[in-house]
Amino acid sequence: AHVDPTALTRSSTDTNHPRPSYNDTAKLSSNNWTFNKTLSNLIRQNILRFLDPERDISILKGTLKPGDIIHYVFDRHSTTNISENLYRLLPTVSPMKNQHHRRCAIVGNSGILLNSSCGPEIDSHDFVIRCNLAPVEEYSRDVGWRTNLVTMNPSVVQRAFQDLVSEEWRDRFLQRLRSLSGSVLWIPAFMAKGGEERVEWALRLILLHTVDVRTAFPSLRLLHAVRGYWLTNNVHIKRPTTGLLMYTMATRFCEEIHLYGFWPFPLDPQGKPVKYHYYDTLKYEYTSSSSPHTMPLEFRTLSTLHRQGALRLHTGTCD
């Protein structure tokens, strides 16, 4: 499968913002789902033509030095420098090197998880991936607490931790980082301009308090490669969400992939309201035309893969 590289910068106008609808996606069969190993292997092989998640999950230390200039992936005309702290926290080998797991859970942040009682089921997976440092402690009954890898968009520092303005917020942030003990903290530091300081604050805290996390910074080619893979499968995604990035990468390390908390719609299948995030007050307008994401389109794609048995989407309760 070849991809026209110019297509990566084109945007499709028709599919970018389909109206959120749950009718066509509500009928996700969950009882008679069986894993389609053949299809899942095929998807892994196809994805490997575009990226190698083991490599692209992080830039390695040997490839950069402090002071090197990086062009942001989405803001090509803006640059940033590799700071001393970032350099110190670059891994020397891939944090996912030789990792293979039978069953992985990827936990999205939709409010569909509330009252799901899915916590124990999520935690029973061999490898658990979470997004954007979403809180677990207060929600563990529904979302579990185990975390092997968690992402952190720089904007999270502002949105969930008030830009660390006070001692109290710095403490809260530090507590959250400490609770990750041993996990991979995946920081897309070079995607969009504007997050430089936030990343730097986080890295400083990690170093100052010798927080036991394994930091990873995605390669500059990851985003384009992921888009390229989905484009050749006719899924025209402007900017893949963290959740889709995690699924695409997890195919490399995981046999069976189970998705929880993926539901980008304001109503559940029964018509009851669903919060955008299970833990905050962010609204659905957030994903409207101003957002670079195309979550409903991604969701339809994941639903198709669910029906084919390549992955399993869990959108109901777990008891």
- Which residue in 41, 45, 25 sits closest to 313, CA to CA? 25
Q: Which is nearer to ligand CTP, 144 or 261 (CB)?
A: 261
Q: Which is nearer to ligand CTP, 82 or 315 (CB)?
A: 315
Q: What is the spatial distance between Cα 249 and Cα 217, in angstroms, rounded to a whole number?
A: 14
Closest contact distance (angstroms) between CB of 272 and ligand CTP is 14
Closest contact distance (angstroms) between CB of 133 and ligand CTP is 9
Beta bridge partners of 215: 185
Q: Which is nearer to ligand CTP, 161 or 276 (CB)?
A: 276
Closest contact distance (angstroms) between CB of 288 and ligand CTP is 12
Residue 104, SS3 per DSSP: strand
Closest contact distance (angstroms) between CB of 159 and ligand CTP is 8
Binding site for ligand CTP (CB under 6 A): 108-110, 131-132, 153, 155, 241-244, 261-264, 276-277, 293, 295
Residue 217, SS3 per DSSP: coil
71 catalytic residue (yes or no): no
Pairing of strands 79-81, 69-71: antiparallel
Residue whose Cβ sits closest to ligand CTP: 243
Q: Which is nearer to ligand CTP, 201 or 265 (CB)?
A: 265
3-state secondary structure 267-319: ECCCCCECCCCCCCCCCHHHHCCCCCCCHHHHHHHHHHHHHCCCCEEECCCCC
Q: Which is nearer to ligand CTP, 267 or 318 (CB)?
A: 267
Structural contact between residues 57 and 94, judged by C-beta atoms closer than 8 angstroms: yes
Q: From the candidates 17, 277, 293, 314, which is the catalytic residue? A: 293
- Which residue in 245, 258, 260, 244 sits closest to 301, CA to CA? 244
Q: What's the distance, CA 129 to chain centroid?
A: 8
Closest contact distance (angstroms) between CB of 292 and ligand CTP is 7
- Please list, in sequence order, all residues whose beta carbon lies within 8 angstroms of the beta carbon of residue 15, skipping any fewer than 6 positions away: 236, 294, 297
**44, two tokens:** 């892994």
Known catalytic residues are 293
